[in-house]
Amino acid sequence: MSAPAGGIRFEKVSVAYGQHTVLDQLDLTVAPGEVMALLGPSGSGKTTALRAVAGFVAPASGRVHLGDRDVTDLPPYRRGIGMVVQSYALFPHLRVEENVAFGLRAHKVPRREIPGRVAEALELTGMADYARRHPRELSGGQQQRVAIARALAIKPAVLLLDEPLSALDAQLRSGMLAELARLHRELPDVSMLYVTHDQVEALTLADRIAVMDRARLVDVGTPQELYRRPRTEFTASFVGNANLLPVRVTGAGVSFEGVPLKVATGAAAEGAAATLCVRPHLVGLGEGPNTLRGTLGEVQWRGAVHRLYVDVAGHRVTADLRELKETPALGSDVALHFAPDDAVLLDAGVSHG
Ligand code: ADP
């Protein structure tokens, strides 16, 4: 089999279990060589989307394309896809090298090519020295490397990863994140679709992030775009922390609880209800161009920042301050400010497309 062209395209893909639609008309394209994270809360349909690409679930409607092939009706083993899941799914009675070879045999790779391909995949994942071990003799992170080696050994154009780090402890996780980033640099033509509910993984690894909520794609963009210019309240609060202030659009900006604020309103109609998104680390203490006055409710020291919670007319506003010379007394009146350019106006209540 010649190597299939890369890239994944979902064309209005819907999946239902009984009457329950768990993936609703997903339209999404992953370019050849791109890392796309599917980010969303549990139950939002991420794994289902991945399984539709792998061929483990059949869409009720819509088509799945890999490169220039429509694979919707192909069985999983004919799609040429590598897949890594949370639980490693290694055979405990097989040695590392046998686990990797198993995937190659399942893909009908000629017998004489198998030892070379196994060695290459183990080399790529840093597991060459462990070829003769059994899975039980490896740490969780090492087992996951073997699972990745097995997925890569078939030289897939598309690698699917379903929460691959969630079984690992925090320290191993960050090491494996760096490892996956390195693998991507060494395999620049392989498209990766990476399911996670962890925004740090998505922000760190992905070229673009597709944000899912309740069976729907609600936003897609580069990590920077989604963080700086979220389109929806859901994205604003799921990708990073956000202050979401209910405002009304005025001629000169917006009004928040009667306080005029200067912000870019774009095409928003005067008088319209909207939500203003301001990131906590862009809020400063003291007066400034846009000043909010309130009562200091709580201060948390978080190592790199002090987090202040301030009650502004019944709304809790969060400020993350890198430098705080003197902590104001709890219950005292404080002023907060933010720059007009650091606020993003979102349509009120529009959390879904
Ligand atoms: P996520 O990966 O975002 O956590 P999933 O795609 O796994 O979400 O699941 C989406 C929804 O589909 C959930 O409500 C889940 O309970 C349901 N679901 C998943 N698999 C099945 C199945 N085999 N049968 C019935 N419902 C399922």
Give the Å distance between the CA of 261 and the centre of ligand 1.
43
**End residue of a domain, out of 212, 233, 254:** 233
Q: Is residue 3 assigned to a domain?
A: no
Give the Å distance between the CA of 22 and the centre of ligand 1.
6
Q: Is residue 65 assigned to a domain?
A: yes
Q: Residue 45 CA: which ligand 1 atom is closest?
A: 6
Q: Residue 47 CA: which ligand 1 atom is closest?
A: 2
**Residue owning the nearest CA to atom 16 of ligand 1:** 43
Whether residues 75 and 201 fall in one domain: yes
- Residue numbers of the chain with a pLDDT score lower than 50: 1-4, 350-353
Q: Residue 15 CA: which ligand 1 atom is closest?
A: 12
Q: Report the C-alpha gap between 259 and 55 in whole angstroms.
A: 54
Give pLDDT, residue 325.
84
DSSP state of 265: -
Whether residues 222 and 256 fall in one domain: no
Q: Is residue 85 assigned to a domain?
A: yes
**End residue of a domain, out of 233, 250, 285:** 233
Q: Is residue 2 assigned to a domain?
A: no
- What CATH number did the domain enclosing 57 receive? 3.40.50.300
Give the Å distance between the CA of 36 and the centre of ligand 1.
20
**Residue owning the nearest CA to atom 6 of ligand 1:** 45
Q: Is residue 312 assigned to a domain?
A: yes
Q: Report the C-alpha gap between 125 and 146 in whole angstroms.
A: 7
Whether residues 134 and 77 fall in one domain: yes
Q: Is residue 353 assigned to a domain?
A: no
Please state, for a pLDDT cut of 90, what percent of the chain lies above it: 77
Q: Residue 18 CA: which ligand 1 atom is closest?
A: 25
Whether residues 222 and 248 fall in one domain: no
Whether residues 115 and 201 fall in one domain: yes
Q: Residue 51 CA: which ligand 1 atom is closest?
A: 6
Asked if 218 contacts 353 with a C-beta cutoff of 8 angstroms, the reply is: yes
Q: Sign of the CA dihedral 245, 265, 27, 79?
A: negative
Q: Residue 163 CA: which ligand 1 atom is closest?
A: 2
Whether residues 83 and 210 fall in one domain: yes
Whether residues 195 and 262 fall in one domain: no
Give the Å distance between the CA of 192 and the centre of ligand 1.
21
Give the Å distance between the CA of 285 and the centre of ligand 1.
44
Pocket around ligand 1: residues whose beta carbon is below 6 Å from it?
A: 17, 22, 40, 42-48
Task: Please tell me the total count of domains within the chain.
Answer: 2
Give the Å distance between the CA of 138 and the centre of ligand 1.
31
Q: Is residue 310 assigned to a domain?
A: yes
Beta bridge partners of 276: 245, 345
- What CATH number did the domain enclosing 305 receive? 2.40.50.140
Whether residues 69 and 197 fall in one domain: yes
Give pLDDT, residue 308.
97
Give the Å distance between the CA of 48 and the centre of ligand 1.
6
Residue to mutate (ligand 1; options 13, 14, 17, 56; most atoms within 8 A of CB): 17
Whether residues 88 and 217 fall in one domain: yes
Whether residues 158 and 194 fall in one domain: yes
Q: What confidence tens digit (pLDDT) does each residue in 31-72 have?
A: 999 999 999 999 999 999 999 999 999 999 999 999 999 999
Whether residues 253 and 179 fall in one domain: no
Asked if 256 contacts 247 with a C-beta cutoff of 8 angstroms, the reply is: yes
Whether residues 182 and 295 fall in one domain: no
Q: Report the C-alpha gap between 75 and 219 in whole angstroms.
A: 30
**End residue of a domain, out of 201, 233, 265:** 233
Which structural domain, as residue segments, surrounds residue 122? 8-233
Q: Is residue 352 assigned to a domain?
A: no
Contacts of 52 (CB under 8 A, 6+ apart): 10, 13, 15, 23, 58, 59, 64
